[in-house]
Each structure stands twice: as C-alpha cells, then as structure tokens.
Structure 1
Amino acid sequence: MTDPDEPVGLIAGSGRVPVLVAQGVRRQGRRLVVVALRGQADPALRDLAQHFDWAGVTRLGRWIKLLRRRGVRRAVMVGGVRKADMYSPLRLLRYVPDFRTARLWYRTLRHDRRDHTVLSAVTELLAREGIQLVSSVKYCVEHLATEGLMTRTPLPRGAEADAELGFRIARASAQLDVGQAVAVKDGDIIAVEAIEGTDRMIARAGQLCPRGGWTLVKVARPGQDMRFDVPAVGPETIRRLKDAGAACLVLEAQHTLIVDKPDTLKLADELGIAVLGKRG
C-alpha cells in the first residue's frame, strides 16, 4: 500500500494537465515534488508544490537526482513536450543530453525514436532508480471523457458515420505512432495529425474544408499505457475547432482527458460544438 505521508513526484511538461494533477494531489493532502521541464511546464506549478525545480527535457540524471533527494518513490509524468522545437536551429544548445540520457539514447533509442518507445525507455530507467511511474490520470479522473453525448448540442447529420470512420483511421494512425487525431467530413479524411500537433492540424483541416461542418476524432493508442501521453483537449481546442468550422468532437471514452471538463463542455455548447465520447 502507498504511504500517505510519502511525497508524490510530478514530472511536468507543457499544458494545463500537470496543474490539474498537482491540484488533485494537494486535495488528497499529499506532499508534492515537482520537476518542471524547462521551456515546457507552467511556472504556476511552483505555488502548488512543497518542492519545485526546473530540469532540462534531456537531463534524466537531474530528474532522478531531484526526485530521490526528496524521497519520491512514485511519480506522475504528464504534459506535452513540443517535439517541433527539437528541430529548431538552436536545438543543439537547448537539448544537450546528460550522461544518463546519452547512454539511454545510444543503447535503446538510436534506431527507434517513436514517442511510445522513448516514454517506455524513460519509465524503465526511472524504475531501475527506484521511482515508479503511476497513472497520469490517477489524481484527475473526474476530467476523463465519458461514453455518450456530453453536450446539450446534438450530433450534426452525418457525424455518427464520420465518427465511426475517423475512429478506425485514428486508431490505425496511433498504432503507427504517427498521430492520434483525424478530421473527417462526409466519409472523407480531410487531415491526419502528425508532428505538428492537434492544434495546427485543426487549422489545416479548416483550410482544406472551408465549408465547415467536419468532425475531429481524437483517440488514445491501442492498449494505451495510462502512465504517460494520455491525449487531452481543452477550452482552446474548442475555440480552435469553432474557428476552423468544425461541428463535432469525438473522444475516446475513459482514455482522453477533457481539461477543466465542466467549463470546456459549457463552452462547446455556447459555440455549438457537439462532444461525443466513444468506447474503443
């Protein structure tokens, strides 16, 4: 059993989800130790943590040192890392690896740099150092998508068929580690998410389908490991969908987070976007 006096570690990337996790940890009365990824994490996490430190994305040795120093044995790793940044002109200065990261890269990741492979390798390294990663939604389960229509706004005509098609294509794309979202309109795949991320894919879909009325389908990987990289949407996603002419958002139930769920669903109703949860 988990010792309630034992601190919870949080390795925090970008976005709002790490803040939700931190708030959930504090609601349970647990001490929180945050390792915030530099250039990615929200500085507001400092106010929620008993101990807060910055660390580089490619500085795994520092992650381990900071967590072990505070007595952390169980941690959550959550939040995005903007992969596109790693292809910027200054990447060699921003992402110089430490010894542990370089060794992991050389031994394991040289020939397979897919997200799931990288995250699995990091998880195994942390476990060898006595730090077990737990489900990234353990402290924010109330924000998971549920099955069925989650808005008062009804599904538009044709969206149910598009949801079925989009779900199959998105799952296949996720299986290949390409992306986890697709845009569909009247049985045609408009856009598939890749390295640019969901937000930019939404903008691209809007350009390719100027008449609007399309559906965004976002899923988890088949056999999603809930310890990391759980897909998420939030208020900004809804606003971007509205701006791009989308009419419906379909999410994999129990495997996708809706950031600030009540507010996000309220906004979807205000903007006329139907939100549907679908079982995998």
Structure 2
Amino acid sequence: MSRIKKRGLDYFPMNTDFIHDRLVRRILKREGDAALAVLLQTLCSIYSGEGYYVLADRLFYDDLADSLYQQEASDVERIIRLAVEYGLFDAALFEKHHVLTSVDIQRQFLFITKRRNSSTIDACYNLLPAEEPVTELPSAALSGQEKNAAKDVDENDVPEGINAAGNGNAVTFQSENSENAPQSTQSIAQQSIAQQTKGNFLLDSSPGTGGTEGADGASAEEVYLRKIESMRPPKDGLKRNLDGLLLNLRQLRIPVQQQYAIVLKSNFGVIGHPMWKGFGVLRDSHGKIRQPGNYLLSLCR
C-alpha cells in the first residue's frame, strides 16, 4: 500500500534573532510575552497543515487558544490581526479570504519542497512572481532575515541525532575513533567517492583555469553549480544530511569550488563528521574566522 503524501512540512527553520525582529518586538510590547506563543503556534499551523497558508476562521482561533494556557480565542484573534496590520502576514488575502500567509512563507515552502514531484501554490493565494526561481535561499518566515537550514523529510527518514526543528545543524556526533577504524564502512565509501570523482577533476581541469571552465564556455561558478546540483550520496547505509550541508555552505557564502570539495571530503555530509562541529565554531566566532571555507576544509583532512 502506497504512503499518503503529506502536504505540509515536518520542520521549518527559525532564525535565532527572530524574537529581536522589530515588528515582533512591537507586538510583544503591546500584547505581552504570551503573544510570542501565538505567533509560533500560527507558524506551526501554517507549515504543518497546507505548508504555506492557514485559514484563520473562528474554529482556528478556538483551536489555537485551546493549546495555550493564558490566551482566549479573542486574545488570539487580536494578536493575529495586529500581526497582519504590522505586515507579518499579507493583509489583502487575510481580508478577502481570511488566509494567513506571506511572500516569505511561500518562498520558504517552495524551497523546502523543491525535490517533491509536485510542489505548487494555489493561484488564488500565490504572492510570488511567476518568474521567481524556486532555488533561492529561503527568507525568514516573519522577520525578513536569513534562515538556517531545514530539510524536508519524512518521519522515517530523519537520521538519529539530527534536530532539524531548530537550525538544521544540531547533531549528535559519533565517536571520533570511528573515523580512524581500519577499512570501516565510512572509509570504504570515501575511497569509492574519491575514485569516482578523480576522473571528473582531470577532465574538467585545464592549465589556464585549473578546472574552472566547461566545454560549453560556462563560467567556473556555473560548472561547479552543475556538479553540486547533480550530486547524489552513495547508497551505503550511512546517515547523511546533504541538503542541510549545502544550505549552511551557501549561507556562509563559501565559493562553489570549496562547496564542492567540502561535500566530497565530508562524504556527502555524513553524520558525525568533524565538519558539523565546525559550523558551530563558525557561528560562535561571529565572523572572526575570515575564511570559513578553508576552515571547514581543514576539518576534512
């Protein structure tokens, strides 16, 4: 029996500066700290339901209030209307259809579900330009700031030790000794990957560009972007988070050549690799590490 395809998302990203956003702070100042719970519950309802919108009718306000300890349905409605007034949700759709959504929420939904066979937005609720590419980095759901990585997966596909509900980077690391085990499954996979990619590096390289120019005249960046997009992890049973890895690399603005090398050297983002700890060090450094790509590569040696 085939599985029922889920419309909404299992997880959605949230920036650590969400609570410091100017509009969110204005709402909290007027409605108190409890308004934060209403906003978070609303986002959960949007992403877990249809994925990019929710119908804000009387039943919605009642259900939301039932999950809170201090807020009544009237309080929930007042806070949400205030959020619409401040522009956190699209005012036109709310007034016309009683729907809560926004450009950033829809962009986030399409980005996370871009690998699904069918990922569309109802024309009645669509706020995105028709020519906008889906492959852009996701924007913030409310604050307009960049979000951390999130991976759209089924419940049975979530690797153990990954907490994608927060920023997509929190992982439980395997023992460091596992990397040094002789002829382990991981080392065998890395040898296989190296053999498969060695020929590609030689074919794509040239004395003038050092592997930065394609046969069709494409630029170095375009060549490596194509390589990255065509990457598929080997089916060797190891747990990986390739999508989360790529999102983190892009958010750090690491050059595509280094992104490609990091993916290969980390065995396609295998869980437990020292590189994942490196992302935490980079975040804690607050920009003091000037060359994050070189730093991550140093952890892959």
Task: Provide the TM-score with structure 2 as the length reference.
Answer: 0.32
Select the structure that is richer in strand.
1
Between the two structures, name the one with larger relative contact order (CA 8 Å, sep ≥ 6): 1
Select the structure that is richer in helix.
2
Task: Provide the TM-score with structure 1 as the length reference.
Answer: 0.34
